[in-house]
Amino acid sequence: MAVASGTAALHAAYAAIGLSPGQTLVTTPLTFSATATTALHLGARVRFADVCEDTLNLDPSAAAAAIDASVSAITAVDYAGHPADIPAIQAIAEQCGAVVVEDAAHAIGGSLEGVPVGAMASLTTFSFHPVKTVTSGEGGAVVCGDARFEPALRRFRDHGMVRAVEHQRHPEEGSWHQEVHALGLNYRMPDILAALGTSQLRRLGAFVARRRALVARYHDLLAGIPGLRLPAQRPGADPAWHLFAVRVLDGRRREVHERLRAQNIGTQVHYWPVHRQPLFEDLGYRAGICPVAESAYDQLLSLPLFPAMTDADQDRVAGAVREILQ
Ligand SMILES: *Cc1c(COP(=O)(O)O)cnc(C)c1O
Identify whether 271 is preceded by a cis peptide bond (ω within 30 of 0).
yes
**8-state DSSP, 171:** G
Would you tell me the crossing angle of helices 6-17 and 150-157 to the nearest 10 degrees?
Answer: 130
Q: Is the Cβ–Cβ distance between 8 and 128 less than 8 Å?
A: no
Mean pLDDT within 55-69: 98
**Helix (H, G, I), strand (E, B), or coil: what is residue 20?**
coil
User: What is the maximum alpha-carbon separation in the chain?
Assistant: 77
**8-state DSSP, 29:** S
The two counts, helices (H) then strands (E), for the chain are 11, 15
Condensed to tens digits (0 to 9), the pLDDT of residues 174-224 reads 999 999 999 999 999 999 999 999 999 999 999 999 999 999 999 999 999
Question: Do the strands 179-180 and 161-162 form a parallel or antiparallel pair, or are they unpaired?
Answer: antiparallel
For residue 132, indicate whether it is catalytic. Answer: yes
Condensed to tens digits (0 to 9), the pLDDT of residues 85-98 reads 999 999 999 999 99
Q: Whose CA is nearest to atom 6 of ligand 1?
A: 6
Where does the pLDDT of residue 117 fall: very low under 50, low under 70, confident under 90, or very high at 90 and above?
Answer: very high
For ligand 1, the distance from its centroid to the CA atom of residue 264, given in whole angstroms, is 26
**What's residue 263's pLDDT?**
98
Nearby residues of 308 by Cβ (< 8 Å), 6 or more positions away: none
Condensed to tens digits (0 to 9), the pLDDT of residues 266-288 reads 999 999 999 999 999 999 999 99
Please report, as a single letter, which amino acid is at residue 322: R
Q: To test the ligand 1 pocket, which listed residue (127, 185, 272, 277) has its Cβ within 8 A of the most ligand atoms? A: 127
**What's residue 145's pLDDT?**
87
Would you tell me the crossing angle of helices 6-17 and 34-41 to the nearest 10 degrees?
Answer: 50
**What's residue 110's pLDDT?**
98
For ligand 1, the distance from its centroid to the CA atom of residue 325, given in whole angstroms, is 32
**Helix (H, G, I), strand (E, B), or coil: what is residue 296?**
helix
Catalytic residue (one of 47, 132, 211, 270): 132
